[in-house]
Amino acid sequence: MRILLAEDDPLLGDGLRAGLRQLGFQVDWVRNGEAAERELRAEPYAAAVLDLGLPSKDGMAVLAAVRRSGIAVPVLVLTARDAVADRVRGLDVGADDYVVKPVDLEELAARLRALVRRAHGQPQERLAAQDVELDPAARRVLKRGEPVVLSTREFDLLHVLMLNAGRVLSREQLERQLYSWGREVESNAVEVHVHHLRRKLGAGLIQTLRGVGYTLLREAPPA
């Protein structure tokens, strides 16, 4: 899943970006508040990690502005401000979660996964459709209880489709959720990954609506 990281500390930002990428996230990193607000308005991020002490526009002002605009992206506030009043204000302005520095990377990743699940109305950690089960934390996929080996991009695509099961997503929408800045996208990349997923998981799991996009079916289509 693609997330935005807004952090002005170069060492912390670089460490968080590298660590979250290792845990399966696609990370775009910005270093000031104006850039954070611009990206949140422009891109369909699954979630955002927002430092409050950003230059040019502080994180609280960024959060307030995007919420006034109706942008519902889950936001996890990451800050050194540990006073209760600061946490309360951040949550009241529109933050979905609040973590005080220093932060454990595994905990941060787990909180992000939980925010994304809740934003998509998924109460369970593991996602299921037909005879396929996906575990985001372990990055594991099972079909009828047996593990299936997927490439990183195949897993990410399946994850996005399962989070949005029953909803039609265009190729462009999928590409914008799967690829962070600087990652080259082949023109037929999504089609190729869908083909591989069908071969490994069954032809009836992902449906193509020609000229529109793709949708993942929770229930198998009638024979």
pTM attached to this predicted model: 0.88
165-209 pLDDT, tens per residue? 999 999 999 988 887 765 555 668 899 999 999 999 999 999 999
Output DSSP code: residue 122.
-
Q: Would the pLDDT of 104 be above 70? A: yes
31-41 pLDDT, tens per residue? 999 999 999 99
52-81 pLDDT, tens per residue? 989 999 999 999 999 999 999 999 998 887
Q: What is the pLDDT of residue 177?
A: 86
Question: In the structure encoding, which two tokens stand for residue 105, read together?
Answer: 């990377």
Question: In the structure encoding, which two tokens stand for residue 159, read together?
Answer: 């994850």
Calpha distance 49→7 (Å, rounded): 8
Q: Sketch the domain layout of the chain as residue ranges.
A: 2-119, 127-216
Architecture of domain 127-216: Orthogonal Bundle (1.10)
Q: How far is CA 78 from CA 20, 91, 104, 135, 149, in A?
A: 14, 12, 11, 26, 34
Calpha distance 6→74 (Å, rounded): 14
Average pLDDT over residues 109-135: 93
The answer to whether the peptide bond before residue 102 is cis (omega within 30 degrees of 0) is yes
The domain over range 2-119 is classified in CATH as 3.40.50.2300: yes
Q: Would the pLDDT of 16 be above 90? A: yes
